[in-house]
Amino acid sequence: MYTSKLYNPKDFFLTLILAGGVFTFDLLLPRGFAEEMLYTGVVFFATQRLPRRMVYVVAIGCTALTIIGFVLTFFYFGGAPSSLSWPFRFPVINRAFCIGGIWAITLLALQRRRALEALRTSEDRFGLVAESIQDYGIVMLDSEGKVASWNAGAAHIFGYSARDVLGQPHSLLLYAPLAIDSGEPTNFLTEARASGSVMKEEWLVRKDGSRFWGHVGITVLRDENDQLQGFATVMGDLTKRKQEEDVIRALLRLSEKLNSTFVLETLLDELVTEAIQLVQAHAGFAGLASGETLTCEKYIQGRKTEICHRSWSPGQGLPGWLLLHKTAYLTNRAQEDRQIEQDFRQTFDIHSALSIPILDAKDTLLGCIEVHNKEKATGFTHFDQQTMVGVSQVASIAIQNALAYQKLQDAETLHSHLLDKIMTAQEDERRRISRELHDEIGQSLTSLLVGLRVAENEARSDGMEARVSDLRKITSATLQEVQRLAKGLRPSVLDDFGLEEAIARYGAEFSSTYGIEVDVAQNWQSTDRLSPAVETALYRIVQEALTNIGKYAKATTVSILLQQNPAQIRLIVEDNGQGFDAQEMVRKASAGTHLGLHGMRERTLLLNGSISIESSLGTGTTIYVNIPLKGEGT
């Protein structure tokens, strides 16, 4: 096929010689040989060897020579015919066919040449594009699966040069032995023949025998008659993408593990173990920031954990470097790195190290994680550093959650401790006031009452006897009120006889005071006394519940059920009153606006118990209290 690079000026002169030879034959040979048809051969030669414009010049020239030859042959050499007899018409028809053939060959040949040139240009461009692609291997296979072309990308990915693979079966070069034994490459081509194209991801093999996760896409090539011509194969190295996907899955798994615990020690152990596996290191540790230092408690090597109490100040060792710079530090020449402390390096035989800061959203250093001695001799890579940065981000969230939980636990412990002290002080103060009311004021009022009774008996005047009688009644009522207040502040029966008797007596007194029937049922599986804290809390809850019933419930009956077993004690107070919106009341109690319910809730929670209220308008109210007895004296 003609290309401008192949054009030789000699071809044009050869074409002129051929045309001149045909013209000479046309003049010398007898009429009737149709020698003029040889001009079509000259034109065809020109279409294959000359540029397009020269082909048109040759075609015009051959047409002119055909006409000139006809004129010279019939009008000059042989004389003009007297009529258009058959011997004359026959050469005319031949010349006409010759001219038609010249231009038919010219046009058709040039049209075909344009198409072939366009195809050649397209192929050349495709070849240039294919050769310029380094990230993907573009391989052409023949109908038998042998390599027909091999671009630079394929050479870069697999390590073979084109000379190594051309004409070789691709299956023996690119696939793992196990895949070859199972016939996977052949099945791959068969599937492509059936469907037209197929794409898969699988393990491929390089020239040096190393495996990598790759993408393979095969498209069938067929001609216009639907005959198989070969296969176009595109292959890519997906190792980096697979590594990134594996890292993402590992980080998600790590996040789930770390956020499943709020114990910092367990969290840090899991963090180091997962980080070592993720970057294929031998050992490592995690440290937490404490003021201006970083502190490490454990050093983990595989399944072995060593206690390691070490602290680093700013600038000291790799952790100290992180305190100053808050950026990752990577070294694969730890033996020569002065930043690593010599005793630390020698103790744990450190050859390579990767240290990553753990930062919060405000760039505050929470801690660090450091891994040592990459399994591969090449040492830690930039990808390992990026992976560890992702680990540190996951760890940052988990550590902040654990620290927040620890602070919350400390606050709750302090709150419980303070509340316990307040309630203990309150009960002690009530006990003191009750004792003073009973001992001091009660005795004084009793003495006054006795004196008034004596004075009443001795007084004989009409007015004096009535006044003394009134004073005695007032003193008696005051004494009863003082006794009632003393019992309300701290009933002595609770200290003297225990919770069972105290609740029974309080229920009877409540029934007498409010005219509401009270049914008390108790089931005790042990005769041992409960701890004072539990007895006091349950008594106060019953006291508050009955007080609310007496003031607001408009009930006619109340039942109190107290059940005790080795594990817990359960209190149920139920009335048939008018009820209330339980959810709204609980919300007010949580906000501290309903002090009675809030007090019951605080007393229950202080003992790690639970309290729930069931009520609705018109259906009465039921209060359930459960207090665990583990650790309590029963």
For the chain, the C-alpha Rg in angstroms (whole number) is 54
Residue 540 makes CB contacts below 8 A (sequence gap 6+) with 599, 600, 603
* 484: pLDDT strictly greater than 50: yes
- C-alpha angle 420/628/624, rounded to 5°? 95
Work out the mean pLDDT of the chain and round it to a whole number.
80
> Considering the domain boundaries, does residue 159 fall inside one?
yes
511 and 521 in a common domain: yes
Query: Residue 377 CB: number of other CB atoms within 10 A?
Result: 8
Is residue 624 very low, low, confident or very high in pLDDT (cuts 50, 70, 90)?
very high
193 and 324 in a common domain: no
CA–CA dist 165, 421 (Å, integer): 87
* 83: pLDDT strictly greater than 50: no
* 123: pLDDT strictly greater than 60: no
> Token pair of 95, please?
């010349």
> Token pair of 47, please?
């279409």
Confidence (pLDDT) at 430: 62
> Considering the domain boundaries, does residue 243 fall inside one?
no
> Considering the domain boundaries, does residue 245 fall inside one?
no
Q: Where are the alpha helices (DSSP H) in 525-568?
A: 532-548
Are 269 and 261 contacting, i.e. CB atoms less than 8 angstroms apart? no
121 and 141 in a common domain: no
CATH code of 549's domain:
3.30.565.10
Confidence (pLDDT) at 2: 47
Confidence (pLDDT) at 129: 54
In eight-state DSSP terms, residue 618 is: T
Are 582 and 543 contacting, i.e. CB atoms less than 8 angstroms apart? no
97 and 204 in a common domain: no
CA 623 from chain centre, in angstroms, equals 45
Confidence (pLDDT) at 477: 67
Beta strands in 238-291 (DSSP E): 281-290
509 and 614 in a common domain: yes
485 and 495 in a common domain: no
Is residue 373 very low, low, confident or very high in pLDDT (cuts 50, 70, 90)?
very high
In eight-state DSSP terms, residue 558 is: E
Confidence (pLDDT) at 86: 46
308 and 346 in a common domain: yes
> Token pair of 330, please?
């990577």
Q: Beta partners for 140?
A: 149, 232
Using one digit for the tens of pLDDT, what is the confidence trace for 309-348? 888 999 899 999 999 999 999 999 888 888 988 888 888 8
Distance between terminal CA atoms of the chain?
109
Confidence (pLDDT) at 81: 46
The domain boundary residue, chosen from 128, 161, 186: 128
Burial class (CB in 10 A: 0-12, 13-18, 19+), 224: exposed
In eight-state DSSP terms, residue 5 is: G
> Considering the domain boundaries, does residue 441 fall inside one?
yes
How many residues comprise the chain? 634
| Amino acid identity for residue 494 in this structure | L
> Averaged over 279-298, what is the pLDDT?
90
> Averaged over 99-106, what is the pLDDT?
86
479 and 497 in a common domain: no
> Considering the domain boundaries, does residue 508 fall inside one?
yes
The domain boundary residue, chosen from 102, 128, 154: 128
CA–CA dist 380, 327 (Å, integer): 16
pTM of the model: 0.49
CA–CA dist 550, 509 (Å, integer): 12
CATH code of 137's domain:
3.30.450.20
341 torsion bin: left (phi>0), alpha (psi -120 to 50), beta (else): beta
108 torsion bin: left (phi>0), alpha (psi -120 to 50), beta (else): alpha
442 and 325 in a common domain: yes
> Averaged over 538-563, what is the pLDDT?
90
Using one digit for the tens of pLDDT, what is the confidence trace for 196-206? 888 888 888 88
Are 333 and 307 contacting, i.e. CB atoms less than 8 angstroms apart? no
> Token pair of 367, please?
């801690």
| 91 compared with 139, residue with greater pLDDT | 139
Confidence (pLDDT) at 32: 53
Confidence (pLDDT) at 74: 67
> Considering the domain boundaries, does residue 253 fall inside one?
no
> Considering the domain boundaries, does residue 594 fall inside one?
yes
CA–CA dist 358, 374 (Å, integer): 21
CA–CA dist 61, 65 (Å, integer): 6
Q: Which of 163-177, 458-472, 609-623 has the lowest mean pLDDT?
A: 458-472
294 and 232 in a common domain: no
CATH code of 464's domain:
3.30.450.40
351 and 369 in a common domain: yes
Task: Report which secondary-structure segment, H or E, holds 242.
Answer: helix 239-258
Q: Which domain holds residue 36?
A: 4-128
Tally the domains of the chain.
4
The domain boundary residue, chosen from 108, 128, 148: 128
Is residue 561 very low, low, confident or very high in pLDDT (cuts 50, 70, 90)?
very high
Pairing of strands 517-524, 557-564: parallel
Nearest to 98 by CA among 35, 153, 156: 35
Q: Which of 26-40, 275-289, 569-583, 615-629 has the lowest mean pLDDT?
A: 26-40
* 413: pLDDT strictly greater than 90: no
> Averaged over 47-71, what is the pLDDT?
84
Is residue 427 very low, low, confident or very high in pLDDT (cuts 50, 70, 90)?
low
205 and 139 in a common domain: yes
CA–CA dist 608, 75 (Å, integer): 134
CA–CA dist 573, 571 (Å, integer): 7
Q: How far is CA 33 from CA 25, 91, 100, 247, 594, in A?
A: 10, 9, 18, 86, 130
Q: How far is CA 275 from CA 247, 272, 330, 385, in A?
A: 11, 5, 15, 11
| 418 compared with 98, residue with greater pLDDT | 98
* 12: pLDDT strictly greater than 70: yes
Using one digit for the tens of pLDDT, what is the confidence trace for 573-598? 999 999 888 777 767 656 555 657 77
CA–CA dist 232, 220 (Å, integer): 6
Using one digit for the tens of pLDDT, what is the confidence trace for 606-620? 888 899 888 888 889
* 121: pLDDT strictly greater than 90: no
Q: Which residue has the tokens 């007015």?
A: 463
Of the chain, the percentage scoring pLDDT greater than 90 comes to 15
Q: Is 442 helix (H, G, I), strand (E, B) or coil?
A: helix
> Token pair of 411, please?
């606050």
* 475: pLDDT strictly greater than 90: no
Of the chain, the percentage scoring pLDDT greater than 70 comes to 78
Confidence (pLDDT) at 419: 66
Instruction: List, as one string, the DSSP characters of 28-67.
Output: HSPTTS-GGGHHHHHHHHHHHHS-HHHHHHHHHHHHHHHH
CA–CA dist 585, 243 (Å, integer): 56
HSE (side-chain half, CA atoms, 13 Å) at 294? 29
Q: Where are the alpha helices (DSSP H) in 366-461?
A: 382-436, 442-458
CA–CA dist 393, 386 (Å, integer): 11
> Considering the domain boundaries, does residue 244 fall inside one?
no
Q: How far is CA 358 from CA 155, 248, 368, 403, in A?
A: 42, 18, 5, 14
CA–CA dist 360, 351 (Å, integer): 30
